[in-house]
Structure 1
């Protein structure tokens, strides 16, 4: 499984979670939509997006992105010491940092 480093995690103004990859990703990542898991690839911004939380928290959506990327694209998403956090509450950041396999 290929490893992709996460350069930024952002909660957008509309509440969507956005996970940007340091590598800029690959065109094939757009096919993540085929997993029918509400996770999408934004080719212009080079990252995965999850919808505004309804029943799930942003941490749950992060786990969903990681899981779907692994199962559908055969990539492992990894946090790094240089991952930038934008508009992410401290509690959510702590929860995300404690997610296994990232």
Structure 2
């Protein structure tokens, strides 16, 4: 399995959680039919705006779908956090 560092985790203006990998591009992730999408301009994976799921659950789901696509995404000490509460950051970092 390939691995890649996560450069940024955030919540965008549309209230979607996004995860930006350093190198890997997930251009065909839509084929998984998992509601995880790829933004070709911003180069990040993202969820829909949460309705029934929390941001933490979406984070875990995106990571799992990436692993199903043969890529382990890893948080590092250099990962940037945008519009993420300290509480959510701590939950994700566990």
Moved over 6 A (4+): none
TM-score by length of 1: 0.88
Alpha-carbon displacement from aligned partner over 1:23-78 (angstroms, at most 9, x marks no partner): 2x23xx1111111110011111111011111011111001010000111x100000
Gaps of 5+ in 1: none
Q: RMSD over aligned Cα, in angstroms?
A: 0.9
Q: What corresponds to 2:12 in structure 1?
A: 12
Aligned to 2:31, the other structure's residue is in SS state helix
CA distance in 1 between partners of 2:28 and 2:66 (Å) = 10
Does residue 93 of structure 2 align to residue 97 of structure 1? yes
Map 1:19-98 onto structure 2 (within 5 A): 19-23=19-23, 25-26=24-25, 29-71=26-68, 73-98=69-94
TM-score by length of 2: 0.95
Count of residues paired in the alignment: 94
CA distance in 2 between partners of 1:14 and 1:93 (Å) = 19
Gaps of 5+ in 2: none
CA distance in 2 between partners of 1:13 and 1:63 (Å) = 21
Please state which structure has a larger fraction of its residues in helix. Answer: 1
